Structure 1
Amino acid sequence: MEVTYGTVWNDCLEVIREQVEAENFNTWFKPIVPLRVDGDVLTIQVPSQFFYEWLEENYVPVLRKAIHTVLGPTGRLEYSVIVDSGNQTHPPVAVNYPNTLRRSAVNDVSSSDDYSPFTYKAVNPQKINSRLNPNYTFDNFVEGDCNRLARSAGVAVAKKPGVTSFNPLMLYGGVGVGKTHLVQAIGNEIKNNLPDKVVLYVDQNDFTNQFLDALQNNKLQEFQNFYLQVDLLILDDVQFLAGREKTQEMFFHIFNQLHQNGKQIIMTSDCPPRDMKGFQERLLSRFKWGLTADLQEPDFETKLVIINRKMKADGIEIPTEVAEYLAYSVDTNLRDMEGVLNSLIFHATLLKKEIDLELAKEVMKNIIKEIQTDVSVDFIQKTVSEYFKVELEALKGKLKKREFVIPRQVAMYFCKRYTQLTLALIGENFGGRDHSTVIHALESVEDMMKTDMNFRATVEELGKKLKMRM
């Protein structure tokens, strides 16, 4: 009886069926078409470049066992990959890859001038829903020391997406520090100035759901082809891909091909790549290829600008003492600040009252549970370090430079004045100093206040800011 390629492949499928789950069998093996058998070499046709890479990455042992079972220990497998150039004058073509020479074959094919295995039918960028919020722009993103590096990198990427060394651009920081605003500002800038670019913003939850839907409905090729047409891909909250092996696998291939083709990739996370758990190492290494920049909680000056700009946009004048009170009192994140301001505006409108310090304090009582009747050591240290523009750790540490000593002594002075802590406990909060050091700090501050009127004014101003919290 003559052995045909169809018979060989059907026998291989029976071996494969015993090793993989039904869902994976239907997704990854049913679409394969046998083309020919030449001695101990079986050639199969797969529907896409991604399909081929997925088989090579995940099912080599399964395929090897099937081939060796059916064709013997010398049996080999070769691929014919369908490639659609997206050009009507060039119909889909097949690229032959020996499974043992995959990397070199990819390099040879991608250098062709006629077509690329990573090129697909183009989409109209004007018809793509970029999922961007047009209200997020660079103009209304408030820059400060807390985010300057990230914003500068964002501006550079917006001018030359895919060209700078900031590819990928990874922005990380806590909740409500402006990551989503900044990445969407980049997207809006590119979309407005480079209208031929395909821009897409997607959070990891949507990306994962789309992938799972494509997997279930045998549309993985369409899913990948769509993402490979994007010129700027923004993936928000990438940290939630942790533990999702199949989704990471897909993103790995999309990332590789976009990066290889000079497309820009931007991601956000709540932590830097080095602290991410549940990720493939090869994916984490790619996250580090470009620039990683953090966004920190805004400092006092930045929060003041944000408050005044928000209120001005709503046509409301806010007294300086109220703006300062809010800037010092809301020390969580910008989303909480936005909620406080909206609530303040609502109360002022409903009660038909001018916004003053009394109303602001009343509103804050109902919103921010963390507000205390006492001032904590942490709050004093943070406020003093921001005012004197010194690092918080330096203020609490043991460096004896004058630029650190005076702010440290002032902080100790306010800890004694506004908390119930003993001198020994105050000293413990400043690098483990003893009570005699704290006494010396108190005496030094009081002496300088008697002889230096500028210093006295500084301490009094700081005292007012701290009392706003009480």
Structure 2
Amino acid sequence: MTKTADSVWNECLSFIKDNIKPQAYKTWFEPIKPIKIAGEALTIQVPSKFFYEWLEEHYIKLLRVALMKQLGNDAKLIYDVRMENTYSSNRPQTVKIPSSNRNPLKSQNVTVPLETKNRELRNPFVIPGLQKVKIESQLNPNYNFNNFVEGDSNRLARSAGMAVANKPGGTSFNPLLIYGGVGLGKTHIAHAIGVEIKDKYPDKTVLYISSEKFTQQFIDSVKSNTRNDFIHFYQMIDVLIIDDVQFLSGKTGTQDVFFHIFNHLHQNGKQVILTSDKAPVDMQDIEQRLLSRFKWGLSAELQAPDYETRISILQNKLFRDGVEMPEEIVDYIAKNIKSNVRELEGVLISMIAQSSFNRREYTLELARQIVDKFVKNTKKEVSIDYIQKVVSKYFDMDVATLQSKTRKRHIVQARQLAMYFAKRMTKSSLASIGSQIGHRDHATVLHACKTVDNLTETDKLFRKYVDDLTKKLTF
């Protein structure tokens, strides 16, 4: 009997239905329509791009097994994705996307990524002599310069990243340190540089790794007595990208080995790219010799995007996802979500999901509901301005007096408390805090924080100040 798309998909559904909860089956599999079958390839239509991404992330193993039962080991799956709200013609626009697991059973031929190997093997650094070996870059191709929206808040970092990508190891931006708060695009730029370098220089060995993973690999190498293999492995890299380097803080052994790897790479004209949530001057418990090397190249700060950049980010995301949304809704989201790119895109994904699943139109009311929930569920960051106002009011003075040059004891203490809470409750750098509280330098802020810590332990009245202000600032 000749198999049809309908018959194959119905058999797949029977298997799937037995292996997941009824609600999940109803939500994610009932809306799917089989389109055609060609050899071992089945094409299915899904209602939206969001829908397709969810299936690939959560149900691909189940789909894989179901399909192989019907079409054999070489079974392939192709999605026919309906692009949301595109009414340019009488017929909705669709895009065909192959599943990322096109050839699922031939796993023995798949190169296991480095990070997966590290979990399975005691020694992931088996290197024949010092010959070059194939190294998986760990780069995410979705993070590239084409979909990174440039604005005043990130222009320096993006431009420096492009310069490094065009000439890795050949610019004065070595190392390139990109720093800033959560969700501002540090990891995106780091990956984008690596992706661009791999495109321009295919023979160069590029490796992206988090500092926590680097630390774990080092610990494993010490346990298995393969420390030298660990060092040799990293010395072979042409472009080393380490994410969240601030997590090396306090880890003296890892810092020491990274110091030697860094020196070798730098001296041999190799490129080092680092990301951090702090500027070098604000990093604590990191050896001075390492911090001095972080400052050899360029430190580029990423700041919260301004209104125009937020609009551009939203429009870019909508264009990439094939979604049309009224301008007033885009404007509303941009005006109400200001902190970072991740939250902006999170609201947009929630809007698209609500519209896809509940068949709701994009309305201002829907946007308000989602933004309100998002803001409530997101820990609100207290601003430095707000902290200064609360502290000034508590001590019965105005903000200008708090910021003044006077050395009167009660004013100095109020100023130190404002700096202390700004350091504790915001993501701002010490330099930025000092600049906003009376144009002081970062050393003054650091001294203020230490003074407050000491006085809190030794002075009962001062401890009461800290307790009272903590309650006022955290509602």
Q: 1:323 to 1:378 in 2, by over 3 A?
A: farther
Q: Note if 1:201 corresponds to 2:223.
A: no
Gaps of at least 5 residues in structure 2 are: 1-127, 387-402, 404-435, 439-475
**Structure-2 separation of matches of 1:210 and 1:269:** 20
Alignment of 1:133-148 (within 5 A): 133-148=140-155
Aligned residue for 1:247, secondary structure, equals helix
Aligned to 1:123, which of 132, 139, 146?
132
Match of 1:217 in 2: 224
Aligned to 1:303, which of 296, 306, 310?
310
Count of aligned pairs between the two proteins: 262
Alignment of 1:243-322 (within 5 A): 243-322=250-329
**Structure-2 separation of matches of 1:257 and 1:431:** 41
Matching residue's letter, 2:212: N
1:345-387 deviations in Å (ceiling 9; x for gaps): 011112212212111111222222179xxxx9979xxxxxxxx
Match of 2:330 in 1: 323
**TM (normalized to structure 1)?**
0.53
Match of 1:151 in 2: 158
**TM (normalized to structure 2)?**
0.52
Gaps of at least 5 residues in structure 1 are: 1-118, 380-396, 398-429, 433-470
Query: Is contact 2:179–2:302 with CA below 8 Å preserved after alignment?
Result: yes
Match of 1:333 in 2: 340
Larger displacement relative to structure 2 (331-340 or 232-241): 331-340
**Structure-2 separation of matches of 1:345 and 1:378:** 35
Match of 1:384 in 2: none
User: What is the CA distance between 1:167 and its match in structure 2?
Assistant: 0.3
Aligned to 2:234, which of 227, 237, 254?
227
User: What is the CA distance between 1:309 and its match in structure 2?
Assistant: 1.3
Alignment of 1:354-433 (within 5 A): 354-369=361-376
Query: Is contact 1:120–1:229 with CA below 8 Å preserved after alignment?
Result: no
Query: Is contact 2:318–2:324 with CA below 8 Å preserved after alignment?
Result: yes
User: What is the CA distance between 1:228 and its match in structure 2?
Assistant: 0.3
**Identity fraction in percent:** 54
Matching residue's letter, 2:266: H
Aligned residue for 2:275, secondary structure, equals strand
Q: 1:186 to 1:322 in 2, by over 3 A?
A: same
**Structure-1 separation of matches of 2:189 and 2:296:** 20
User: What is the CA distance between 1:332 and its match in structure 2?
Assistant: 2.2
Matching residue's letter, 1:208: T
Structure with higher Rg: it is: 1
**Structure-2 separation of matches of 1:361 and 1:302:** 21
Query: Is contact 1:120–1:225 with CA below 8 Å preserved after alignment?
Result: no
Q: 1:205 to 1:370 in 2, by over 3 A?
A: closer
Larger displacement relative to structure 2 (284-293 or 304-313): 304-313
Aligned residue for 2:150, secondary structure, equals coil
Match of 1:342 in 2: 349
**Structure-2 separation of matches of 1:363 and 1:282:** 48
Query: Is contact 1:163–1:262 with CA below 8 Å preserved after alignment?
Result: yes
Q: 1:377 to 1:160 in 2, by over 3 A?
A: closer
User: What is the CA distance between 1:330 and its match in structure 2?
Assistant: 0.8
**Structure-2 separation of matches of 1:291 and 1:138:** 19
Aligned residue for 1:177, secondary structure, equals coil
User: What is the CA distance between 1:320 and its match in structure 2?
Assistant: 1.0
User: What is the CA distance between 1:431 and its match in structure 2?
Assistant: 11
Matching residue's letter, 2:311: L
Alignment of 1:429-444 (within 5 A): none
Aligned residue for 2:376, secondary structure, equals coil
Query: Is contact 2:305–2:339 with CA below 8 Å preserved after alignment?
Result: no
Query: Is contact 1:202–1:236 with CA below 8 Å preserved after alignment?
Result: yes
1:199-239 deviations in Å (ceiling 9; x for gaps): 00000010000000000100001100000000000000000
Matching residue's letter, 2:131: A
Query: Is contact 2:149–2:316 with CA below 8 Å preserved after alignment?
Result: no
1:214-268 deviations in Å (ceiling 9; x for gaps): 0010000110000000000000000010000000000000000110101000000
Query: Is contact 2:347–2:374 with CA below 8 Å preserved after alignment?
Result: yes
Aligned residue for 2:242, secondary structure, equals strand
